[in-house]
Amino acid sequence: MSGDRRPVGIDELLERVRRGYRRIGPWEAYTAARDGDALLVDIRYAALRERDGLVPGALVVERNELEWRLDPQGSHRLPEATGHDLRVVVLCNEGYASSLAAASLHQLGLHRATDLIGGFQAWRAAGLPVRPYAPQAP
């Protein structure tokens, strides 16, 4: 590591990446998704989705697949990955991993990517719709 670059801790890293975009709250995310202005993407792992439920209409993409699935130029993209102007709102459980995920999407050119402040827990606390998890048939 060069002499002018010191390692950063996760708190500083989160602060840095969050300065790169405007985060949104649960009601703004709900309204944007409802009005068709944003794609909600749930990156929580399966055990949390099973325990707490799902956000209706949210696209579930495991964190380790997010960039491959949402890169509009990628060969493994989902049909929803329509272009770099797509507004993506990433949500995790409490709003930490989603910040790093949104920053990664910015690096792919998804300049409107953001994350949900407080994550799924804030969504649920705001009284927004949640549906029980139901396993998919094989």
DSSP result, 80-109: T---TT--EEEE-SSSSHHHHHHHHHHHTT
The answer to whether the beta carbons of residues 39 and 80 sit under 8 Å apart is yes
Task: Using pLDDT thresholds of 50, 70 and 90, give the confidence band for residue 44.
Answer: very high
Is the pLDDT at 126 greater than 50, yes or no?
A: yes
Compute CA 57 distance to the chain's CA centroid, rounded to the nearest angstrom: 14
Query: pTM (2 decimals)?
Result: 0.92
